[in-house]
Chain A
């Protein structure tokens, strides 16, 4: 079983701040996903990573395979970024999920 830990659990930021959410996992993976869940339940896949770094707009995701660690960064945060961010790892055909980071961006 892959233990996936996220930090922080809750995060409140002022609009415009740079935000970092961290994810650590315990066993080797084939891919790591960052997911965004807004109130109401729908989940959007933000990134799928197996190495290195990806950027999409104001979002940047990095992964360090050797250290079993990934980070999700949000630059120039905005209230519409308020959501729960979930880290998920894939090992073989199994998904393991972190407990999520609840982000609130205050105008």
Chain B
């Protein structure tokens, strides 16, 4: 089955710094790459996604980059704020379902 590796597992940054989370995948058939944010006690929420025909996508302080040749994609958060603290999951869609990375716990220190 599809193997999705996500790094790092934990990330601590100072408020205002940038944070980068990277995922690698194995199935070249995947063509949709979303990122989810999960706050404590809640379900994951889609924050940004990218399709295989695009290399980069931005939404305010959040961006995602995709290197389909190397089979990796990254989440970039700039000017981090304490409310960005959460667990972030990458995902890929090798078929009719979605497979998730193990998650990155981001802590933004005020």
Same complex for A and B? Answer no
